[in-house]
């Protein structure tokens, strides 16, 4: 069973969240006009962690606002393993005095790392890519998996109803593809201009470089992984379907695997875990349903909506999905649906193991007060072992 501290924290968390959701429901804004779709990507009452472009706790971070028409933002986490580059930076502080953080070398070979697109949890109405708990989790995953983590600050409900958050996820993946192509163009221009000493970069009409330097120098778009936490797992699964649909249109981006951590799945027919654990820790049945009512438009509300039940009305066959690892907790009422999802994938010979953690609760590996527990650390290590099967360079793979 969970510890007494976890049980007590869960009671306070559910009490606060239930009242917060009820307040949001009562003050829900009217449907926005096409000219008012900016939305919000975080809540003021949640502690945020500032980005730090210098290496702290094994990773440097920076924020990027990629869509001027909405609140969609990203936070990049770069592990300090990039400092092993032969042409590498000047050290943990980077090589740019005026920037005050890490700046990749302009010439020579750089360490190339896979890119992981991460979607935070929070029941579609809470959380943020820059929250303190998500910042800590992303740093841990960046170090454990040795990847560049791109945390997506998608728009939250009820200010932005479905499909806003899901479209933001797809837009972030398309932005990565655009960045990979711009970086390729920049390198080509650099080769042409190297003889005259002009740096090869692509600029917009205002003279600002459109190429994100960390991704351009260190990102390997051919090894892309999607990771979703709780409600973020629903978005990751949707984005994965969009990536499969796009195919070569996303080149050079290739999604090689997805990691779904205790997804926010639902359905009209109750499962055994939903009956047995209806009043489970952190997210119970009442809170889940209230959050979904805030996410889905009134005319579309259904527990079998494709946003929350990916086994219904799919646009991409399960046999076309990439390898998927599922993290579930013993005391999470939504566990059965996650396990069933992987079982359906395995029917089509898709590698889809389930990492089932005993005595664990929903968000046991990502919730702020649980981040430092041995179980949370072990979960990150288990994810890293599995992910590295698909992101390791040829000849360096290992099995688990």
Check 120, 336, 362, 382 and give the catalytic one. 362
What separation in angstroms does the CA of 31 have from each of 95, 158, 161, 291, 308?
48, 9, 8, 17, 21
Q: Which two tokens stand for residue 50?
A: 């500032």
**Alpha-helical segments (H) within the chain:** 4-26, 132-145, 164-193, 213-218, 231-246, 272-276, 285-295, 335-346, 374-391
Output the six-digit token pair for 66.
């990629």
> Of 53, 50, 73, whose CA–CA distance to 61 is shortest?
53
Peptide bond between residue 189 and the one before it cis (omega within 30 degrees of 0): no
Q: Single out the catalytic residue among 103, 230, 231, 280.
A: 230
Query: For residues 380 and 377, what is the distance between their CA atoms, to the nearest angstrom?
Result: 5
Question: In angstroms, what CA-CA distances link 100 with 55, 135, 158, 364?
Answer: 11, 20, 38, 35
Q: How far is CA 17 from CA 12, 125, 130, 298, in A?
A: 8, 10, 19, 21
Clarify whether 230 is annotated catalytic: yes
16 is catalytic: no
Of 4, 8, 97, 14, the residue nearest 279 (C-alpha) = 14
Other CB atoms within a 10 A radius of the CB of residue 301 amount to 13
Q: How many residues does the chain have?
A: 400
Q: Which residue is listed with tokens 């009305």?
A: 313
Residue 20 token pair? 């917060």
* Integer Cα distance of 216 and 219 in angstroms: 6
Q: Which of 146, 168, 220, 332 is catalytic?
A: 332
Opening angle at CA 74, ends 110 and 309, nearest 5: 115
Q: Is 305 a catalytic residue?
A: no
Positions annotated as catalytic residues are 230, 332, 362
């Amino acid at each position: 069973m969970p510890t007494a501290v976890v049980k007590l924290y869960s009671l306070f968390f559910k009490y606060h969240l239930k009242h917060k959701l009820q307040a949001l429901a009562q003050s829900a804004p009217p449907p926005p006009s096409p000219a008012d779709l900016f939305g919000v990507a975080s809540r003021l009452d949640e502690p945020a962690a500032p980005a730090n472009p210098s290496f702290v706790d094994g990773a440097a971070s920076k924020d990027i606002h990629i869509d001027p028409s909405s609140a969609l933002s990203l936070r990049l986490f770069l592990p300090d393993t990039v400092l092993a580059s032969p042409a590498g930076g000047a050290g943990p502080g980077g090589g740019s005095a005026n920037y005050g953080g890490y700046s990749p070398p302009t010439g020579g070979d750089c360490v190339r790392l896979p890119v992981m697109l991460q979607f935070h949890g929070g029941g579609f109405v809470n959380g943020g890519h820059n929250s303190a708990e998500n910042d800590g989790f992303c740093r841990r995953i960046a170090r454990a998996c040795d990847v560049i983590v791109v945390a997506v600050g998608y728009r939250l409900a009820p200010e932005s109803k479905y499909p806003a958050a899901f479209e933001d996820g797809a837009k972030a993946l398309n932005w990565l593809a655009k960045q990979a192509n711009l970086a390729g163009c920049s390198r080509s221009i650099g080769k042409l201009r190297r003889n005259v000493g002009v740096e090869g970069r692509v600029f917009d009409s205002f003279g600002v470089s459109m190429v994100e330097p960390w991704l351009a120098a260190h990102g390997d778009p051919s090894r892309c992984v999607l990771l979703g936490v709780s409600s973020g797992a629903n978005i990751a699964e949707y984005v994965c379907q969009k990536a499969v649909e796009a195919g070569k249109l996303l080149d050079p981006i290739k999604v090689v695997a997805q990691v779904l951590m205790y997804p926010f799945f639902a359905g009209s027919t109750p499962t055994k875990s939903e009956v047995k654990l209806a009043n489970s820790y952190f997210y119970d049945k009442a809170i889940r349903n209230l959050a979904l009512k805030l996410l889905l438009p009134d005319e579309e509300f259904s527990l079998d909506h494709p946003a929350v039940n990916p086994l219904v009305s799919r646009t991409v066959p399960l046999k076309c999905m990439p390898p998927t690892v599922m993290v579930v907790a013993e005391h999470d009422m939504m566990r059965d649906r996650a396990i069933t999802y992987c079982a359906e994938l395995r029917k089509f010979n898709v590698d889809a193991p389930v990492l089932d953690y005993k005595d664990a609760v929903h968000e046991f590996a990502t919730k702020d007060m649980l981040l430092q527990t041995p179980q949370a650390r072990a979960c990150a290590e288990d994810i890293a072992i599995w992910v590295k099967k698909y992101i390791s360079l040829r000849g360096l793979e290992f099995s688990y």
